[in-house]
Each structure stands twice: as C-alpha cells, then as structure tokens.
Structure 1
Amino acid sequence: MLVVVGGFALFDRAQPYLHGSGCEVRTAQGTMPLDLEQAANASTIAAVAFRKQLPERAAVIAYATAIQESHIRNLPGGDRDSVGMFQQRPSQGWGTPDKLRDPVLATSKFFDALVRIKDYLDRDLHDAAQLVQRSADGTAYAQHEQDGKLLATAFTGREPASARCWFPPDKRTASRRPEAIREMRRAFGSRLKVGGPSPLTKGAKSDPDSWNAVKASSTREGWAVASWAVTHAQVYGLTEIRYAGKHWKSDAGHDGWTEDKDAPKDSVIVQ
C-alpha cells in the first residue's frame, strides 16, 4: 500500500514533465492546441485590439490572417522580404524588419491598415484580409475563419478561463514580473492601470516593481489580461495568475484554471 501511495506521489510530481510544454484554447466552439509561442502571439493580437478599442470581428480577421501567413509564429523571414507574424514586407512600406518582427508593432500595423478599409466589418473575411495583405491567393484566408473565431472568443475574454498553458519546471525562468507588466501595458496600452501590493501579497514592498494587481475595466478585459499573463508566464517566470474566482499555477498549468474564492473580480493578480 505504501508503495502504491509513494508511486502515485512520484507520478503526480512528474506530471509537468510528462505533459511537456504547450497551451490549449477550449471554448464552446471547440478546442485548439497551440505551442507557447503561438499562444503568446495570439494573446498579443487580442491585447492590441483592446488598445485600439476594436470589435471582436477585427480580431477574428487578424487571427485568420496570422494563421494563414505564419501559423501565428513570429517568423524571421519568408517569401522575398516578408517577415513576422503577418509576413509584412518592408519593401511594400510596412516598416523596418526589426519592427515587423515585434508582434505588438506588427499587429498594430495590421489593424491600422484594416480599419482604413471601408466597411471592413461587413465584408467577407477573406476579402477584408486580402485588401490588407494583397497576397497571391486572397481566398486562402477564408479557410481559417472558424479557428479565428475560436481564438477571438478565448483571447478577447468573451468566454472566461478558456486558455491554459503548461511547461515543466526545468523550463521555468527567473521571475521578471516588472518586465512582464511593462510589456503587457505596451500591448494593451497605458490606460491599463497597475497597483499593489495586493491583499494576496501582504508584506510585499511598496515600490512599483512589487505591484502585481492589474486593474480590469471590464470582465472581458480582465480575462484578456489574465490570458496574456498565462501565455507569457514561461518567458517572464510568472508562477500564479488570479482573477474572478479562478487561479492558474505554473506548476499545475495543465490543470488549467481552478476555483479560488479569494481571487478578486476587479484586478488580475500577477505573481
């Protein structure tokens, strides 16, 4: 009996290694597996959409485009001089290669071009995307519309707690929470307010680098912020995210969001 219990305990501690690294989006529309890079880029697209106060349909178009162009990866190159998640070309006036390899800036440029298209919200997705991208085969974007809707549902916060990520302990990095929050505010915009220390971190220092409570102006924005934090947790060494009665922990990331009655409804706690 003791052997069985001990064996179970050992197996339980080994779970993160057995699961490897990855992310998953699960909504009423379906499930989509993503790797850590894809998930981080997907949450960034939603963040920039929030900063620009764009409707969910704009995010759907961006997701379908990014899936077709790069599988939502920040590619160093591509066809001719195309680079980045949207495979934008410096020679076509999109910007410098360095800026186009920055997911925040590349997404911002995509949305800036999209909103200049008259009635883009009423157009077929592939038509709107093609008017932005001007690719060889504009109809290819249409095949990714349903996946784009699924990602938008999750990362814009319409369905809460629908994105989870996991990675083994040996893939953790040293905590860089202040950098994570600065990058989060760069993506979502400076109107995203941060305070702290929160009641969940009593005794923390009062300097800004100890602040960990990201104020949510709406439930949807709160879940978009929480999803961004989870998808960037491995890069920035984040270990716990709490929001609206839910809790994600890096050492149990594969379990997703669990109940936490102390998690506040007005702030996303990033630890």
Structure 2
Amino acid sequence: MPAPDAVWRAPTSDSGKFFCVRRRFSRGAITIAVIVIVLAVAITAGVYVLLQRAKPFVAGENCQVTTPRGSLTLEIEQAEIAATIAAVAERRRLPQRAVVIAYATALQESKMLNLPFGDRDSVGIFQQRPSQGWGTPKQLLDPVYATRKFFAALVEVENYQKMPLHEAAQAVQRSADGTAYAQHEEDAKILAAAFTGRVPKALHCWFPPPKDSEQAEPRTDRARKELVRALGNTAFSDGKISARSTRRGWLIAAWSVAHAQRYGLRTVRYQGLVWSAEDGHAGWVEDPEATARHVRLT
C-alpha cells in the first residue's frame, strides 16, 4: 500500500495499472496549513455570531414576546393592538380570562391587525359590523373604541369566564364558525401574560431609526394621551408615569415599547431595567436609573 502522502493517478494507456507519485510536505508547510484552517474556522464562527446578533435588523421591524408558556414574534402593529387590549381591560378591571378571549378573537378575525375591510361591512381588529350596531366604520377602526365595545358585549355573557373560550367568543361575535377561536387559545395566553404585566420584561421590539427628523423627536405627551385613552388617568410628570403596582408598571412598560416607533420613544425604563430603541433586539438590560415606582419614557 502506498504511503499516505501519495497522490493517485489514472491508469496508463499501456498497462492499465495505477501508479502513484509520492509528494512530500515539509513540517513548515503543514504548520501553515493548520494555521490557515484554524483562522478560517474562527472567522466563519465570528461572522455567524455577528449575523445571528444582527438577525432582527435583517428582518426589518418586529416584536418578540417571551414568557414561561412560550415565545411569539409579532408585527409592531400587532403588538400595539395587543397592548391596547390589555390596557382597556385593566381600565375596566377585567380578569385575565377576558383578555385571553379578546386576543383569541382578534387573532382569528384579523390576525390582530386593524383591517379597513372584511366580510360584507366588517372592519377593524374584531371585524365588527356597523350594520349590526357596533358603531360607525371610523369608530370601529379605533382600536380603543373597538376593544371597549368587545368587552362591553363580553361581560354581558353569563359565566363567560367558566365556559370554553370559543363559546364565549362566539356569543359576542356570532360568526359562521365559532369553533375557530379555540385554535388561538394557547397563543392568547402567552400574549395575555406578557401584555397585562404578569410576566416582567416579556416584550421587546426593534425597528430601524427614523429617516424623518420630526419623527426622531420623542413625542412623550402624545404617547401619554393615547395611553390615558386606553388605560385611564395615570399620574404623569417629566416623562415619568406612576405605577401603582409592579404588574401595572410592566403593563405600561409593554404598552410603551409596543408604541415606541409610533411616538419616537428612544428608551423605556422601569424597575432597574431599560429597553433602548437603538439596541431593541437586545431586550431589557440593567440600568441604575430605572426605578420601581415609575415608568420613564424618553
């Protein structure tokens, strides 16, 4: 058998036998080859890590919800609507089951998007119909108004908290196939845990910096007014929103992160942590300036 450093050649035309040419490599050449291979592997690994860390930006703009029940990726509009539904429920002091039912309904009806169209005259996140007395198209395209109407109808359903989710949703919606709501129950529970504040720091969003200089300016006053429309009156001073409880504080923090792109918010601070728009994919990181009594927007 030839030595390991031999190179096989094709058979000759005369004999049909194989022959080999012995190739010798110096120790120096072998050392250089090993170094090149090690460097190539290291560079490849480094590029892979960078790509993984930059992955959210490659994807454009999104939000991530992470709870012990699981994780979900949302469009920013979906996160905004989810945060609004949770805030309206908090204002009405509704149980988490009501929020889960609302989320499952919105996921089935519109994929939790504020659609200006639908079956017949249906519009909005719950695909409510003006002809059925839900309100005008303009009203129903306001997520706060649409959510208030949904919850007003839901609480009229006797024992809605104890009945199967799809039955409670169907009692409000009266859709063609009420069983379809059931398929979204698990995702709805993940969303409810995150947006009601029961799971801290469960939401983070990322998006490219604004191109318009006007949009780059934080509009904290407008953000506060919209939050108040959904959540009700909250003490607000110098960019800080009072949090009466830790859970409510994380609800406000999640609402603020979900609406950060809309209102040009660059940071949201709460309970020793901060979310930053400049590094949104990193999620919440430690910050000594963040207090437990206020959610601070800048």
Q: TM-score, normalised by structure 1?
A: 0.87
Q: What are the ranges of 5 or more consecutive residues in structure 2 without an aligned counterpart?
A: 1-42
Partner of 2:273: 246
Higher normalized contact order (CA 8 Å, seq sep 6+, divided by chain length): 1
Q: How many residues end up aligned between the 2 structures?
A: 247
Within 5 Å, give how 1:35-54 maps onto structure 2.
35-54=75-94
Partner of 1:34: 74
Asked which structure has the greater CA Rg, the reply is 2
Over 3 Å counting, the alpha-carbon distance change for 1:250 and 1:171 in structure 2 is: farther
Deviation of the 1:146 alpha carbon: 0.4
Describe the superposition over 1:64-116 as per-residue Cα deviations: whole angstroms up to 9, x where unpaired.
00000000000001000000000000000100100100000100100000001
Q: Aligned Cα RMSD in Å?
A: 1.8
Deviation of the 1:19 alpha carbon: 4.5
Deviation of the 1:23 alpha carbon: 0.3
For 1:171 and 1:17, the matched residues in 2 are separated by: 16
Residue 189 (structure 1) aligned to one of 221, 232, 236: 232
Task: Please say which of residues 59-68 and 14-23 is displaced more in the overlay.
Answer: 14-23
Identical amino acids, percent of aligned pairs: 55
For 1:245 and 1:110, the matched residues in 2 are separated by: 36
Partner of 2:17: none
Aligned 8 A contact 1:19 1:167 in 2: no
Describe the superposition over 1:164-215 as per-residue Cα deviations: whole angstroms up to 9, x where unpaired.
100011467232211011001111012x2112xxxxxxxxxxxxxxx21100
Matched, 1:101 2:144: no
Partner of 1:229: 256
Aligned 8 A contact 2:154 2:172 in 1: yes
Describe the superposition over 1:28-79 as per-residue Cα deviations: whole angstroms up to 9, x where unpaired.
0101000110010011110000011101110000000000000000000100
For 2:171 and 2:59, the matched residues in 1 are separated by: 41
* Residue identity in the other structure for 2:263: Y
SS at match of 1:33: strand
* Residue identity in the other structure for 1:184: L
Q: What are the ranges of 5 or more consecutive residues in structure 1 without an aligned counterpart?
A: 196-210
Aligned 8 A contact 2:57 2:206 in 1: no
Over 3 Å counting, the alpha-carbon distance change for 1:114 and 1:177 in structure 2 is: same
Partner of 1:179: 222
Aligned 8 A contact 1:17 1:169 in 2: no
